[in-house]
Amino acid sequence: MLQVENLSKTYGDEIKYEALKKLNLTVNDSEFIGIMGPSGSGKSTFLNLLATIDQPTDGHILLNGRDPNQLNQEEIAKFRRRELGFVFQSFNLMPTLTVEENIVLPLTLDGEKISVMKHQLNRLSERLGITDLLKKRIAEISGGQAQRVAVARAMIHQPQLLLADEPTGNLDTKSSKDVMRLLQQLNENEKATILMVTHDPLAASYCKRIVFIKDGQLVDEIRNNGNQKIFYDEVMMKLAEIEGANSEF
């Protein structure tokens, strides 16, 4: 579904900095993948390239065989709006709009029929447990509820790929667990394909696979065998290994 081939990103002219170095990754339909690594490892750069916010220096990103970087600006905007869904740490919701208006915004921008918007809204809000919030303003709901709304907005147009950037970063432990269970349910029940950047091992333990990036390169990966506690411990051990916490001084 997603094929990343020799992806590289270099910043600067006189003084060059390689943020990503020939990174390769294959993502199949309905996978739930976490992206982890030390600060400055290239995680955010990778996500920005997948999101078409930035362009690679070299290599290719193919989503169902299409390379968005071969499109013009208008086509890229349409591609981003229709093929991708985004969930951010800061929610990025419109405070002047109601919950309902925020959720259907991608469909509104695409000029979708009112009947289609209502059908999708009702289906998603019921599944995500936010039906009673639809008429409220963003300032009237909690952070955990706001992130549920953000997830609903990201999924309203049934994107090919959902990109999540530290989705639990601004949430307390209970809200974090609620949001991660929600993403897990979307992956399992809606067959959503999800890539999530996170530094939180607990959030990562809800994923099916974790890929680790260090110094711009994919250095390792682990898979969830179905036991979340064991997988959490494996994530912790792998992070310590990659970040050098197990090294002798």
Each residue's pLDDT tens digit, 116-158? 999 999 999 998 889 999 999 999 999 999 999 999 999 999 8
247 occurs within a structural domain:
no
Residue 21 CA neighbour count, 13 Å, CB half: 11
Q: Give the model confidence (pLDDT) of 86-123 as tens digits.
A: 998 888 899 999 999 999 998 998 888 999 999 999 99
Whole-angstrom CA distances from 5 to 42, 44, 63 are: 16, 18, 11
DSSP 56: -
Q: Evaluate whether residue 78 is within a structural domain.
A: yes
**Number of domains making up the chain:** 1
For residue 69, the domain's CATH number is 3.40.50.300
pTM of the entire structure?
0.91
The answer as to whether 191 is a domain residue is yes
* Cα–Cα distance for residue pair 222/210, rounded to 1 Å: 5
Average pLDDT, the chain: 92
Q: Is residue 248 part of a domain?
A: no
pLDDT band at 249 (very low <50, low <70, confident <90, very high): very low
Does 112 map to a domain?
Answer: yes
Identify whether 13 is part of a domain.
Answer: yes
The boundaries of the domain holding residue 82 are 2-242
Q: Please check whether residue 249 lies inside any domain of the structure.
A: no
